[in-house]
Structure 1
Amino acid sequence: MAIRYPNGKKYNPSVPATKKKTNDFSFSNRGKLLEDELNDSNEYYLAHGLAVIHKKPVPVQIVNVRYPARSAAVITEAYFRTPSTTDYNGVWKGHYVDFEAKETKNKTSLPLQNIHLHQVQHMKQVHDQSGLAFFIVNFSLLDRYFLLPFDAFFPLWQRMESGGRKSITLTEIEERSIEISTGYQPRLDYLQAVEQWIQKHNRFNH
């Protein structure tokens, strides 16, 4: 099936949209493991009445459909309707939650090349409305996970836009994030990190 971006360019998940370095994000399998862990955590939260958080569906416009049999339909061409915003959203303890998951094999920094301007703009809008906007970052080779709040991330994004470095160092992430401990059920209890973030910064009075 051919899927195309809004500009008509063909989408190929195994080929990066721009030339990438060896240690940058894996576009062909980007975030698959992290995504699976987050989906499992969200199922756990839902089953135990802790939160309602889901992965956002990607809006796709179907263009051509082939019918090899009366009871079967095969989509042969489709387009992404609009650029995607963030990966997950939902409600937790009365708070709107909206976050993006990023995974990198780089051991020393998080490259910013696969974070898009429209995603940052969306997260800023959520933040400005007092929603909980953040990144969950996995350094896969280090087996370390971090919750990076948007307000801690944004100055580093502005630094890049001003001509500064195009990545966030691991040290900067350690200083600005809440590290997520792994466990059994769920393995990635990121809401515990959200709770720590709120308490640490006294973000809400209730």
Structure 2
Amino acid sequence: MVFHYPNGKKFVAVNQRQNNQVTAKQQINYSNRGMTLEEDLNETNEYYLAHNIAVVHKKPTPVQIVDVHYPKRSAAVIKEAYFKQASTTDYNGVYRGKYLDFEAKETKNKTSFPLQNFHEHQIQHMEQVLRQQGLAFIIMSFSSTGEIFIMEALHLIQFWNRMKNGGRKSITKKEVELTSYKISIGFQPRIDYLKVVDQLIEKA
């Protein structure tokens, strides 16, 4: 089965990409990238749900199927499909009667967080959530240093508008530290971001 991203590029599974690497060291490095933050957040959300703390889920990626084969009357095999461009953010849910909506992003950069990690429609979506008095934020990971921060959407929008007005195309690490909340990795839950959400609710 062939999947395509919205730009037409073929989707290649992680294990297949790893097989294309030249050395074992490159394979190990690749396998530790990309999905780590997402996996930790999914595990955290499962913990919250199991302990009746919050209901937060990752939004499924919309897929458009373009080629289906029917080898049997009772079975269908998808031969080709495209990942559609997601129109909102990664996660949403409810906690303490508040609507939560957030995006999770990683970077290997040590001194800044590239704004190219985000899309215009995601910024617009977070603006809409804020207008409805929901809590919108981003969870950003500096994978090379193991640091994780929560930045309120309000600040992200300000940095985004700065870029659109001709300013820098990234958020400096210092700016992240000044405008965000740092989260430590734990055991259960892995990324206890609701501790920060509690603070956001109290100051709202």
Q: Shared fold by TM > 0.5?
A: yes
TM superposition score normalised by structure 1? 0.83
Q: Which residue is 2:11 aligned to?
A: 12
Other structure's SS at 2:160 match = helix
Deviation larger for 150-159 or 190-199: 190-199
Task: Let me know the Cα RMSD of the aligned residues.
Answer: 2.4
Give the share of equivalent positions with the same residue, in percent: 60
Taking the TM superposition and a 5 Å limit, the aligned residue runs for 1:35-184 are 35-68=38-71, 72-184=75-187
Aligned CA distance change for structure 1 residues 55 and 69 (closer, same or farther; 3 Å): same
Match of 2:2 in 1: 2
Match of 2:27 in 1: none
The AA in structure 2 aligned to 1:124 is: E
1:137-182 deviations in Å (ceiling 9; x for gaps): 0001111110100011111110000011000011101110111122
Moved over 2 A (4+): 1-7, 9-14, 27-31, 66-74, 79-84, 196-199
Q: How many residues align?
A: 189
What's the counterpart of residue 16 of structure 2?
Answer: none
**Partners of 1:101 and 1:193 in 2: how far apart?**
15
Aligned equivalents of 2:161 and 2:61: distance in 1?
Answer: 27
Unaligned runs of 5+ in 2: 14-29
Do 2:98 and 2:134's aligned partners in 1 also have CA atoms closer than 8 Å? yes
Q: Which amino acid aligns with 1:181?
A: S
1:46-65 CA-partner distances (Å, limit 9, x unpaired): 00000000000111122211
Ranges in structure 1 where 5+ consecutive residues have no aligned partner: 15-26
Q: Is the 8 A contact 2:2 2:79 kept in 1?
A: yes
